[in-house]
């Protein structure tokens, strides 16, 4: 029984290592091929903010974000939760003004959640995304379309 547990754990680690190696070895190729990025290793907020930006190949905002962020049907906190963004580095397809949130502004970003009740994109307040405040002030100026 103990041997079976170790072999199962070893197989899981091998699969996870192989998957992570693919993410680190070819991020651009994987990003172009996959509709949603694989979970990346945890990063500091400063490191994630430094990587944050709109990529020219797909016009999406790629940025670090808080894990376990609920996505909402509309860009305000009173809107129903329709999904959960569990990854900590994600892409966001567009932005929208909405309700005031903990970041002190009204910018919300739309994304495809890792789990969804309806299969649709949802909104995350900017304070859950590691964007700088100057970016949140006008994401369109940096290439992200308004929803």
pTM above 0.75, yes or no: no
CA distance 91 to 85: 11
Reported as a single tens digit per residue, the pLDDT across 64-122 is 999 999 999 999 999 999 999 999 999 999 999 999 999 999 999 999 999 998 889 99
Please list, in sequence order, all residues whose beta carbon lies within 8 angstroms of the beta carbon of residue 10, skipping any fewer than 6 positions away: none
CA distance 57 to 78: 34
Q: Which residues pair with 146 in a beta bridge?
A: 95
Q: Among the residues of 34-122, which ranges form H helices? A: 45-51
89-92 β-sheet, strand order: 53-55, 60-64, 89-92
What's the pLDDT at 108? Answer: 98
């Amino acid at each position: 029984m103990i041997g079976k547990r170790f072999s199962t754990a070893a197989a899981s680690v091998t699969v996870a290592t192989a998957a992570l190696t693919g993410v680190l070895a070819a991020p651009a190729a994987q990003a172009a091929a996959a509709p949603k990025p694989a979970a990346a290793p945890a990063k500091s907020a400063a490191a994630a903010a430094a990587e944050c930006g709109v990529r020219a190949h797909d016009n999406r905002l790629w940025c670090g974000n808080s894990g376990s962020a609920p996505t909402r049907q509309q860009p305000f906190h009173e809107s129903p939760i329709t999904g959960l963004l569990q990854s900590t580095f994600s892409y966001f397809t567009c932005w929208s003004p909405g309700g005031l949130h903990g970041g002190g502004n009204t910018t919300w970003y739309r994304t495809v959640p890792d789990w969804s009740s309806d299969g649709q994109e949802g909104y995350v307040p900017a304070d859950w995304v590691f964007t700088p405040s100057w970016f949140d002030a006008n994401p369109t100026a940096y290439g992200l379309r308004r929803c």
